[in-house]
A = this chain, B = another copy of it.
Amino acid sequence: MDPNATQHSHCLEMAMEVHQVVPPPHKTTLHKLKARLKETFFPDDPLRQFKGQPLKTKLTLGAQYFFPILQWGPKYSLKLFKSDLVSGLTIASLAIPQGISYAKLANLPPIVGLYSSFVPPLVYAVLGSSRDLAVGPVSIASLVMGSMLRQEVSPTADPVLFLQLAFSSTFFAGLFQASLGILRLGFIIDFLSKAILIGFMAGAAIIVSLQQLKSLLGITDFTNQMGLIPVMTSVFHSIHEWSWQTILTGICFLVLLLLARHVSIKRPKLFWVSAGAPLFCVIISTLLVFAIKAQNHGISVIGKLQQGINPPSWNMLCFHGTHLGLVMKTGLITGILSLTEGIAVGRTFAALKNYKVDGNKEMMAIGFMNMVGSSTSCYVTTGAFSRSAVNNNAGAKTAVSNVVMSVTVMVTLLFLMPLFQYTPNVVLGAIIVTAVIGLIDLPAAYNIWKIDKFDFLVMLSAFMGVLFISVQGGLALAVGLSTFKILMQITRPKTVMLGKIPGTEIYRNLHQYKEAVRVPGFLILSIEAPINFANITYLNERTLRWIEEEEDNIKEQFSLRFLILEMSAVSAIDTSGISLFKELKATLEKKSVELVLVNPLAEVIEKLKKVDEATDFIQADSLFLTVGEAIASLSSTMKAQSSTFHG
């Protein structure tokens, strides 16, 4: 005999030594509840740093937790300020034209966009923990707020009420955002997956661009609706209104802005080209209009703007009346959308620069910022991706860049407002179109198609939904679809048939590992999901079908004796799951097949033990630590039995 073979069999014998599945140490229900709640709401264990510290340190750490400025403020230096000054001025040059444009997108007076670039950045500088977030109004939230409020109130017929509703929605958005943070329910924004956002933002970009056709073509009688079809219909119905002067100006500035964008994409060092372009265009076009009195030649301009900083607006918030439902709904949706953008931006740059942003804390910061904003004439704001990227490129080191931007906007509000009187609307339209074109991310969409077809479907449904149903409808459709997918994964969990990889004690998926072989007399299934009410019927049917197929295939000699369920992946079980095992065991007994469990987790063992002391599921001879040990032990029992029988 080959000595290697001897040794091998010796090894197998050693491996056959059976290890016990240990029932878990007992824990009280209260203890388990506490552990569960901690895992659910405090997975990042925010209090860890407080442990074992003296009271004074605890207080300092607590203050720093709520006001991150106390953390970086004391270490602030002139060198850092130089960087922040440059980046702050850069984003201000972007924030001023974008603020005006986005306010118009939300059907609000242009000056509200500037107000919103003044107060919220200051609040964020104190509360926020991201060093790169550039705070201000963003296109998506502006679009959604404008389109939702317009369903009930016309911004032209009743501008004061519309403004009231906008501020009130902003308040609810902030309240909702802060609550998510305080209640540690931040995972809710995770349901807006990357795939949904890519589809949604592309759709919204198209919707936003279509809205700009009003300014770009110089149409005065434009539809109130947002969908692709009504807007295109309206555009071609009013073809007689198109103004060639406006179109020409629009095309010129659009080309200029897109070129600047292209340059900055190709050469990231020239980021200031695209960052400065909007302000440059505004200045040039304003001068041009003023010089040639173009407002008299069919080019519409912004008109007179109020001067001075934000007036208080808390008296404009309404918490009752017929529009309360709309205001809350608008707040909820714009709140969640802007939160998603802000958190994603914060996380992206934090990962890039290797510091940490606490999601729940950021939600509180953004929420509080919007609540303060709503009472100082600001509408909903967050960290904008494009502006934050510019901020980062321009070398921002801390939130002081937001303060610099804010001060610049304040100066503008106090002294420079008359200059915008002759700014043509068409330039604002071109600025918006250039800004939102960046939201269409075709390579990412292609990547999703390559990796996961269902995610692509979700993306497509968000995209199509936004274009053809409505902004909220598209979101709801996509979120519903992806939640449904998760539920289907639970309802139809994977069950995999395992086989032995020759020469090892490893058992793996027979379909994946072609060399794996089945063990006669055994059916080894691995269940890959928690077992609960939603899947017990399926698991029962599927298991019985495996067994029937097995009975059909197998030769008389090796009739099926054991069903081994590998339970490592069954992370939880409920009462329905327990009843599945009872039922399965009863069915199997009628077929004289024995049920064997491998490596059930603590929770599962504990619950199976409680079923019925009489039936005793957890007998030592039907519970093993690994499939290998189960088969080795059961085979030897089988052989012993049959030799007794034949003897």
Contacts and interface: CB of A to CB of B under 8 A. Distances in A.
Interface of A: 7-8, 10-11, 14, 19, 22, 24-25, 29, 33, 39-40, 43-45, 48, 186-187, 190-191, 193-196, 351, 354, 359, 447-448, 450-455, 482-483, 486-494, 496, 501, 504, 506, 508-509, 511-514, 526, 528-530, 532-538, 541-542, 545, 568-569, 571-572, 574-576, 578-579, 583, 586-587, 590, 599, 601-602, 607, 610-611, 625-626
Given A509-B601, A583-B351, A625-B506, A43 B571 contact: no
A44 B451 contact: no
B455 A513 contact: no
Contacts of A490: 486, 489-490
Q: Is the interface of A mostly helix, strand, loop or mixed?
A: helix
The residue in A45, A455, A488, A575 that gathers the most chain B C-beta atoms within 10 A of its C-beta is: A575
Contacts of A530: 486, 489, 529
A354 B590 CA distance: 8
Contacts of A48: 545
A304 to B, nearest CB: 47
Contacts of A451: 574-575, 578, 607, 610-611
Contact of A454 (B39, B488, B574): B574
B190 A533 contact: yes
Given A44-B545, A451-B574, A486-B487, 6 more contacts: A8-B14, A29-B453, A190-B491, A354-B590, A455-B576, A529-B571
Contacts of A533: 190-191, 193-196, 482
Given A191-B534, A351-B586, A43 B576 contact: no
A73 to B, nearest CB: 25
A506 to B, nearest CB: 6
Contacts of A488: 40
Contacts of A532: 193, 486
A576 B195 contact: yes
A552 B448 CA distance: 38
Copies, count: 2
Nearest to A455: B575
A171 B43 CA distance: 50
Contact of A569 (B25, B359, B541, B571): B571
Contacts of A535: 190
Contacts of A25: 514
A10 B7 CA distance: 9
Nearest to A347: B537
A311 to B, nearest CB: 39
Contacts of A538: 43, 187, 190
A447 to B, nearest CB: 7
A43 B509 contact: no
Contacts of A534: 187, 190-191, 193, 486
B537 A447 contact: no
A545 B46 CA distance: 10
A617 to B, nearest CB: 12
A537 B187 contact: yes
A105 to B, nearest CB: 28
Contacts of A578: 451-452
Contacts of A186: 537
Contacts of A529: 529-530, 571
A426 B496 CA distance: 58
Nearest to A187: B491
B602 A511 contact: yes
A247 to B, nearest CB: 40
A452 B568 contact: no
Q: Which 9 A-B residue pairings sit nearest by Cβ, starting from the closest? A: A193-B533, A569-B569, A528-B571, A11-B11, A494-B571, A512-B602, A455-B575, A44-B541, A452-B575
17 contacts: A40-B488, A43-B541, A186-B537, A187-B537, A190-B537, A194-B575, A195-B576, A196-B533, A351-B586, A455-B576, A489-B490, A489-B530, A494-B601, A501-B625, A511-B602, A528-B601, A529-B529
A611 to B, nearest CB: 7
A123 to B, nearest CB: 25
A521 to B, nearest CB: 23
A125 to B, nearest CB: 25
Contacts of A486: 487, 490, 530, 532, 534
A452 to B, nearest CB: 5
Nearest to A358: B541
A443 to B, nearest CB: 12
A492 B43 contact: yes
Contacts of A509: 601-602
A578 B447 CA distance: 11
A24 B568 CA distance: 22
A154 B601 CA distance: 55
A580 to B, nearest CB: 11
Contacts of A491: 187, 190
Contacts of A572: 489, 494
A487 B571 CA distance: 14
